[in-house]
């Protein structure tokens, strides 16, 4: 068997020597598909690893958290008292996010190394211990040291030993650059150093492992009046919140893999049908069919191994390029800290290999079945008839899918169901495509029947469709996804800008708490000054904020309220009802299931109190619940609440006058935030956050373009003799374009037309289902005609270029192609 088999294998493989381009496309499809998928998988894996790491070292794994009942944070005194009372497993955590004098934002985390459950000195051999082997003692002694992850050091331009300066002139401890990723993208300091440098005496919270019942009772007795013990639900919330982003990324990764498979399918299909002769010859030479099958199998294995290997290699630069964007998404939307350095492991390679093999097996199945089962039927029927009847069946499936999606829509309430809906929409579009194209061809033929060229062009759609069908489907898939996701991001950007402009309508935000209203009254440069006060409570298992609002403040007005009871704003201001009227953010509505008119119970400084939700407001990106109360009412219920500072509206926007005035009042630059800067910063953060989606979108578009090009090329290779004949009887380029090129353009047009409503439906689902399910807020959908038009122009150019490139080869080699016609 062996010699014969090797000859058989060599014979089947020799196809790719003479058809290098087809081989290239099999490889390209696999590499692009596997590469993008693996890159995304790698990003997800790294992010998850980051969560786990964060859990391991910095207290997120602590089951319990201790916080102050009245104020944010916990005082150092309380911490010391707790330790002295025998709560030896309690350790402090201080988290902060500060701007440097150069305008970069740094996240800090600090803890007491000696109090950590995995104290560095105690467990020198613990492999998991990030402090093992480090000279951690330098962290705890002046001038202290701060550990900066290498990727952050690079970002903010810090070198070993540098002392970063804060806007108020404070210098941070010397930096020590770390390659470890345990602290993710956060700068690590010892708690002593942090308190010192940041000039505070309050810790963010205290973390503690598990406390037994005795200890809990003891805690309640001794500290219960001031300190609250709570389950650490944040870790849970976080993984739930970020789940949707990861699912999103995975879906995009899979999408590019599917598009890659389309390319492979084209190439494999072509290579198999082009080799039917070779297989027949092998059969006649006495090579048994199983051996030919085995040869194909080995070929497949070679392809998937190379594809997976190169794909994994490709994934490295791609994920390295995308990871910082993901890290900033995590930081900005979810407040999760993720390392921006992607991890690699062998499991991912195996996954890519499995994926490549599965994809190849899938692409092999259909053509093999066709070749094996009914070569005769195919020859007589021709691909056109086969295409027509199968397109009808597909259209039926597509219609059923759309109906199913409509039926399921009201009931979809989990992320999986939401993504199921998305998949239904996407695949319904694909299934409907061939039937729509065939109808358009029939219609066009009837409408343009008087012109022979038009008749021919529309008729040629039917001969091209079977070859281009898959590539067009891939294109449709990417276009739908593209329009959907772009509209989502665009809508979000507009909604967020509008919202921020109201929310941050003050010109300055002053955090100086010493400033009193008497200081501000009578200043000619102030047109308005309003205070917000905040109390932290819990509602429905999550953190919630009750905010006291100046009813005349421009940053929360009647227009900000959505879906309110009649006359709600006036009732809210007067607070005349027995149940205190309150506005809640949308998160309360979608995540906690509260409706307008429902009563909610919240803790106040006077004890539990019943409120009546009379309306909602948008609160984009907030992971907490929020309730708005008029300030007068708030002051009664929360006398001990913390003042958030002043929002100042400047007369005639005279910034210069305002700065001089503020200076006179003794407000330093450290206590002053220009809202305009915050707005700009927020938008730049937003854009960076969605860079990942945009990048993946662009990449899938490129892959779809390659798919079109690949199938055009194999189509032209297949029809070479036919086209040669056309040229031989004197067809000019422009006529060739009309007959062979315009169908491609036309079909692309149909794809675009279908993609528009489907893409809008997708955007609608993303905004009103997925978004609500995962974040608890909605926004008005805004479609950007210009960006969709741009996308379509881009696709048309791409397809036209593919046509030009693929048809270029047609001009030459007419005579050799005609030899085939001459009967050879």
Partner 1 sequence: MFQLQNIDKAFRDRGEVIHVARNLTWELASGAKTALMGESGAGKTTIMNIIAGLDSVDKGTVTVNGIKLSSVSNREVSDYRRNHLGLIFQKFHLVPTLDVWDNAALQARLAGCFDAEAAESLLNRLEIQHLINHYPSQLSGGQQQRVAIARALMHRPKLVLADEPTGNLDEATSDKVIELLVDTATSVGSSLVVVTHSHKVASHLNECWHLASGTLTPSA
Residues touching partner 1, count (CB under 8 A): 28
Q: Is 5 in the site for partner 1 (CB under 8 A)?
A: no
CA 635 to chain centre: 41
Distances in Å between the Cα of 269 and the Cα atoms of 25, 363, 524, 740 are 11, 7, 79, 21
Q: Is the omega angle on the peptide bond into residue 617 within 30 degrees of 0, that is, cis?
A: no
Query: Residue 171 in 3-state DSSP?
Result: strand
What's the per-residue H, E or C state across 146-163? EEEEHHHHHHHCCCCCCC
Query: How far is Cα 337 from Cα 280, in angstroms, rounded to an integer?
Result: 60
Min dist CB 821 to partner 1, Å, is: 5
Positive or negative torsion for Cα 766, 768, 773, 775? positive
Q: Which of 68, 69, 11, 42 is nearest to 604 (CA)?
A: 69
Query: How far is Cα 464 from Cα 87, in angstroms, rounded to an integer?
Result: 77
Min dist CB 381 to partner 1, Å, is: 9
Min dist CB 457 to partner 1, Å, is: 10
Binding partner selected for residue 174 from Mg ion, partner 1, none, CB under the kind-specific 5 to 8 Å limit = none
Q: Is 717 in the site for partner 1 (CB under 8 A)?
A: no
Binding partner selected for residue 722 from partner 1, Mg ion, none, CB under the kind-specific 5 to 8 Å limit = partner 1
CB atoms closer than 10 angstroms to residue 824: 6
Considering beta carbons, is residue 554 or 721 the nearer one to Mg ion? 721
Distances in Å between the Cα of 281 and the Cα atoms of 278, 379, 431 are 5, 19, 37
Using CB under 8 A as the binding rule, the residues of this chain from 461 to 490 that contact partner 1 are: 462-463
Considering beta carbons, is residue 641 or 739 the nearer one to partner 1? 739
Considering beta carbons, is residue 692 or 724 the nearer one to Mg ion? 724
Contact yes or no for 651/526 (Cβ under 8 A): yes
Backbone angles phi, psi at 105, to 5 degrees: -100, 130
Using CB under 8 A as the binding rule, the residues of this chain from 101 to 120 that contact partner 1 are: none
Q: Is 730 in the site for partner 1 (CB under 8 A)?
A: yes
Binding partner selected for residue 794 from Mg ion, partner 1, none, CB under the kind-specific 5 to 8 Å limit = none
Give the H/E segment covering residue 535. Answer: strand 526-539
Residue of the chain from 735, 782, 783, 796 that contacts partner 1 (CB under 8 A): 735
Contact yes or no for 44/348 (Cβ under 8 A): no
Min dist CB 456 to partner 1, Å, is: 6
Q: Which stretch binds partner 1 (CB under 8 A): 57-65, 386-394, 413-421, 816-824?
A: 816-824
Tell me which residue has its CB nearest to Mg ion. 822
Q: Is 718 in the site for partner 1 (CB under 8 A)?
A: no
Q: Is 721 in the site for partner 1 (CB under 8 A)?
A: yes
Q: Is 822 in the site for partner 1 (CB under 8 A)?
A: yes
Contact yes or no for 581/614 (Cβ under 8 A): yes
CB-neighbour burial class of residue 389 (10 A; exposed 0-12, middle 13-18, buried 19+): exposed
Contact yes or no for 263/36 (Cβ under 8 A): no
Residue of the chain from 133, 213, 284, 452 that contacts partner 1 (CB under 8 A): 452
Binding partner selected for residue 821 from partner 1, Mg ion, none, CB under the kind-specific 5 to 8 Å limit = partner 1
Min dist CB 374 to partner 1, Å, is: 17
Joined together, the tokens standing for residue 515 give 């400033």
Considering beta carbons, is residue 231 or 732 the nearer one to partner 1? 732
Q: Is 687 in the site for partner 1 (CB under 8 A)?
A: no
Backbone angles phi, psi at 628, to 5 degrees: -105, 130
Min dist CB 459 to partner 1, Å, is: 4
Binding partner selected for residue 534 from Mg ion, partner 1, none, CB under the kind-specific 5 to 8 Å limit = none
Q: Is 346 in the site for partner 1 (CB under 8 A)?
A: no
Q: Which stretch binds partner 1 (CB under 8 A): 232-240, 269-277, 451-459, 635-643?
A: 451-459
Residue of the chain from 459, 573, 695, 756 that contacts partner 1 (CB under 8 A): 459
Query: How far is Cα 168 from Cα 425, in angstroms, rounded to an integer?
Result: 54
Q: Which of 405, 239, 430 is nearest to 769 (CA)?
A: 405
Query: How far is Cα 808 from Cα 723, in angstroms, rounded to an integer?
Result: 12
Binding partner selected for residue 63 from partner 1, Mg ion, none, CB under the kind-specific 5 to 8 Å limit = none
Residues 6 or more apart whose Cβ sits within 8 Å of residue 737: none
Task: Tokens 């921006």: give the residue.
Answer: 340
Min dist CB 721 to Mg ion, Å, is: 14
Q: Which stretch binds Mg ion (CB under 5 A): 442-450, 470-478, 613-621, 814-822?
A: 814-822
Query: Residue 648 in 3-state DSSP?
Result: strand
Min dist CB 462 to partner 1, Å, is: 6
Residues of the shown chain interacting with Mg ion in the complex, contacts defined by CB under 5 A? 822
Residues of the shown chain interacting with partner 1 in the complex, contacts defined by CB under 8 A? 382, 384, 452-453, 455-456, 459-460, 462-463, 721-722, 725, 727-732, 735, 814-815, 818-819, 821-824
């Amino acid at each position: 068997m062996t010699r014969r088999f090797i000859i058989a294998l060599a014979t089947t493989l020799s196809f790719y020597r003479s058809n290098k381009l087809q081989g290239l496309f099999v490889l390209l499809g696999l590499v692009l598909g596997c590469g993008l998928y693996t890159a995304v998988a790698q990003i997800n894996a790294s992010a998850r690893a980051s969560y786990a790491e964060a859990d391991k070292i910095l207290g997120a794994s602590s089951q319990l958290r201790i916080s102050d009942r009245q104020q944010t944070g916990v005082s150092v005194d309380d911490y010391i008292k707790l330790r002295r009372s025998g709560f030896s497993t309690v350790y402090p955590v201080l988290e902060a996010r500060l701007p440097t004098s150069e305008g970069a934002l740094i996240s800090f985390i600090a803890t007491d190394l000696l109090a950590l459950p995995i104290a560095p000195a105690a467990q020198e051999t613990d492999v998991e211990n990030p402090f093992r082997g480090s000279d951690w003692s330098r962290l705890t002694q002046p001038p202290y040291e701060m550990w900066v992850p290498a990727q952050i050091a690079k970002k903010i331009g810090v070198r070993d030993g540098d002392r970063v300066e804060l806007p108020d002139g404070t210098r941070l401890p010397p930096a020590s650059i770390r390659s470890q990723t345990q602290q993710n993208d956060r700068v690590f300091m010892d708690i002593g150093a942090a308190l010192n440098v940041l000039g505070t005496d309050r810790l963010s919270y205290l973390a503690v492992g598990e406390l037994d019942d005795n200890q809990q009772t003891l805690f309640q007795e001794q500290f219960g009046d001031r300190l609250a013990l709570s389950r650490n639900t944040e870790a849970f919330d976080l993984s739930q919140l970020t789940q949707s982003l990861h699912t999103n990324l995975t879906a995009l990764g899979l999408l590019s893999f599917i598009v890659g498979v389309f390319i492979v399918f084209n190439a494999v299909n072509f290579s198999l049908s082009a080799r039917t002769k070779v297989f027949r010859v092998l059969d006649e030479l006495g090579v048994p069919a199983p051996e030919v099958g085995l040869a194909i199998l080995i070929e497949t294995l070679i392809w998937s191994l190379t594809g997976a290997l190169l794909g994994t290699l490709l994934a490295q630069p791609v994920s390295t390029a995308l990871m910082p964007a993901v890290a900033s998404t995590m930081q900005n939307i979810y407040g999760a800290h993720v390392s921006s350095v992607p991890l690699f492991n062998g499991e991912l390679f195996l996954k890519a290999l499995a994926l490549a093999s599965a994809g190849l097996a899938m692409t092999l199945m259909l053509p093999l079945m066709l070749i094996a089962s009914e070569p005769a039927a195919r020859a007589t029927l021709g691909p056109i008839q086969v295409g027509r009847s199968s397109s009808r069946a597909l259209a039926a499936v597509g219609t059923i899918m759309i109906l199913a999606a409509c039926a399921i829509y009201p009931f979809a309430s989990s992320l999986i169901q939401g993504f199921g809906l998305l998949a239904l929409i996407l695949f319904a579009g694909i299934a409907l495509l061939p039937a729509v194209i065939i109808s358009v061809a029939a219609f066009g033929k009837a409408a343009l029947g008087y012109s022979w060229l038009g008749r021919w062009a529309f008729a040629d759609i039917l001969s091209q469709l079977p070859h281009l069908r898959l590539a067009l489907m891939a294109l449709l898939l990417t276009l739908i996804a593209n329009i959907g996701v772009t509209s989502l991001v665009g809508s979000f950007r507009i909604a967020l800008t509008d919202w921020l402009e109201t929310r941050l309508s003050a010109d300055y935000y002053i955090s100086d708490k010493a400033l009193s209203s008497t200081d501000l009254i009578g200043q000619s440069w102030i047109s308005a000054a309003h205070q917000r006060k905040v109390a932290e409570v819990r509602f429905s298992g999550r953190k919630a904020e009750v905010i006291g609002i100046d009813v005349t403040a421009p940053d929360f007005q009647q227009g900000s309220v959505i879906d309110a009871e009649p006359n709600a704003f006036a009732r809210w201001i007067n607070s005349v009802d027995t149940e205190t009227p309150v506005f809640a953010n949308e998160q309360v509505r979608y995540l906690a299931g509260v409706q307008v008119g429902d009563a909610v119970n919240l803790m106040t400084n006077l004890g539990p109190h019943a409120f009546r939700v009379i309306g909602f407001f948008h609160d984009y990106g907030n992971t907490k619940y929020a309730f708005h109360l008029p300030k007068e009412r708030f002051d009664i219920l929360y006398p001990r609440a913390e003042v958030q500072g002043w929002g100042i509206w400047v007369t005639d926007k005279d910034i210069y006058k305002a700065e001089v005035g503020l200076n006179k009042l003794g407000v330093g630059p450290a206590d002053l935030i220009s809202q305009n800067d915050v707005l700009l910063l927020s938008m730049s953060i937003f854009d960076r956050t969605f860079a990942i989606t945009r990048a993946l979108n662009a990449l899938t578009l490129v892959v779809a373009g390659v798919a079109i090009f690949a199938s055009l090329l194999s189509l032209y290779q297949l029809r070479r003799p036919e086209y040669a004949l056309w040229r031989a009887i004197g067809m000019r380029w422009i006529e060739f374009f009309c007959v062979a090129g315009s169908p491609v353009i036309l079909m692309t047009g149909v794809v675009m037309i279908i993609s528009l409503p489907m893409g809008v439906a997708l955007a609608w689902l993303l905004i009103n289902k997925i978004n609500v399910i995962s974040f608890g807020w909605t926004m008005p959908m805004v479609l950007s005609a210009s960006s969709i038009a741009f996308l379509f122009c881009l696709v048309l150019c791409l397809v036209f270029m593919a046509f030009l490139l693929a048809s270029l080869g047609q001009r030459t080699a007419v005579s050799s192609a005609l030899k085939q016609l001459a009967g050879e």
